[in-house]
Amino acid sequence: MSEIITPRSFNHFLSVSSIDGRFRGNIEEVSTYFSEYATYKNRVFVEIEYLIAFLASVKKPLDIKKQNVLRNIHKNFSLEDCNTIWEKDVEINHDTKSVEYFLIKKFTEKKITHLINYIHIGLTTNDIDSTGLAISIRDFCKILYIPSIKSLAKRIKSISIEQKDLIMLSRTHGQFAVPTTVGKELANFYKRLKVQIDKLERLHFGAGITGSVGNHNALVYAYPAINWTRFSEDFLKKLNLDSYPMKTQVEPYDYKVEFLQSIKRINLVISALDEDIWRYLAAGYLILRDSKGHVGSSTMPQKVNPIGFELSESYTLLSNGILDVLERKLPINRWQRDLTDKYLLRDLGQSLAMSLLSCKSTEEALKQIGFNSGVINKDLDEHWETISEGIQTLLRTTSYKQPYEKVRELTRGKIVTKEIYNKFIDEINVSENIKEKLKKLSPRTYIGYSNKFEKLIK
């Protein structure tokens, strides 16, 4: 009995997963890289390119015309072709071998049957799957994911620069701390994302083509004069992939795990931004401008809910949940081969779609936010205790005794107004020069470098 059964035709309303259901319209381009169709098409590509390279290495090179005939099988690969492979898979219960039978059928139709025996020669399933998946990940990254993350980062940077002079009270442990600027706090997230984007762009993508258990046994036996390790490296290099010189039947997954870790870190930065924005909205520092016609609550008409940030936060967590399992399990295979990696990787596309959805959702939600300067300024005016750090620091530069303790008596657990602060300054025993300097101190001037960050985020 086959492990798969062809499902009835269905649309997104019948999908079990929200990624292929409610949110498919937001991320359906991911299926170009991660889907049964994409997997089959990449396998066809790798089989054909390998065949062309293999024949050249054994001194039976194909002329350009025949190479084009072969490459057109991949170029013209259709959903009908995909279904042909699927039906064979249902019959024989082997998805990669089904691709081989599909190619035999195509070669027969194109009257190149003399090449049939060379299809998949010296290869094993993981050689094809490893290479095809590496191509999918690389192209997904380059064409879809990195541009989306860069677009989000650009949006954050733009807002941070626009708001570089908007002073607000920061919070540590949920309580008012010292003044900062809205711009700097957002720039922090931009910088974190930029670091991760740079790392992601520098990643290498690798695969392995080494035969049944990693030793090129079959090819060394049939063609002992050829250096098959070098052939494999050269072949993968032409596909812009690194190669594993040593492996079992399964690739070690080191390259792919580095990629998963990079996505996880990006998800964490986005999730942290989502949570902070949510809290600033709850505190009244930010407001949401609703899109016309949207409903915030089924019962409370006044509400504009931060659902874009909440959606993003949720799917970064779900994405990282899958990526955590992949990261831990992929590098571990029993002896020379088991299929746990293959089954786990079937949901890689879902986790990456979730990450992409989170990125898009946060960017769209950021377009809706506005800054409530009235609430922000009210807190600045009413909480002079937030400059206590500056007071005790300056007093430490004098002979004033126990500056920290004296300022703590004034401020700890208390709300300090401008009047209370000025009275304290008038009464302390310090020079007029120090008093004059302290009198110029306020929540609007005690901002350090928080509005001088632009050079740091170039």
Domains along the chain with CATH numbers: 16-118 (1.10.275.10), 138-164+175-209+241-371 (1.20.200.10), 384-442 (1.10.40.30)
Given a cut of 60, whether residue 215 has pLDDT beyond it is: yes
Task: Give the chain's end-to-end CA distance (angstroms, integer).
Answer: 59
Name the residue with higher pLDDT: 119 or 300: 119
> What does 201-244 look like in DSSP terms, one character per residue?
HH---EE----TTSS-HHHHHH-TTS-HHHHHHHHHHHTT-EE-
pLDDT at residue number 302: 54
The radius of gyration computed from the CA coordinates of the chain, to the nearest angstrom, equals: 30
> Which residue, chain included where needed, has tokens 């990006």?
266
Cα distance between residue 249 and residue 247, in whole Å: 6
Quote the pTM value. Answer: 0.93
Active-site hit among 78, 158, 291, 297: 297
pLDDT of 301 over the 70 cut: no
Over residues 216-249, the pLDDT tens digits come to 999 999 999 999 999 999 999 999 999 988 899 8
Q: Residues 353-372: what's their mean pLDDT? A: 96
Active site (annotated) includes residue 173: yes
**What is the per-residue pLDDT across 68-107, written as a single tens digit (0 to 9) for each?**
999 999 999 999 999 999 999 999 999 999 999 999 999 9
Catalytic residue among 173, 291, 294, 361: 173
Find the length of the chain.
458
Exposed/middle/buried for 437, CB within 10 Å: 0-12, 13-18, 19+?
Answer: middle
Name the pLDDT band for 9 (thresholds 50, 70, 90).
confident
pLDDT at 292: 62
pLDDT at 8: 83
Residue 118 is encoded by which pair of tokens? 């060379």
Query: 12 an active-site residue?
Result: no
Which pLDDT tens digit goes with each residue over 144-165?
Answer: 999 999 999 999 999 999 999 9
Give the pLDDT confidence of 247-286 residue by residue, as tens digits.
998 999 999 999 999 999 999 999 999 999 999 999 999 9
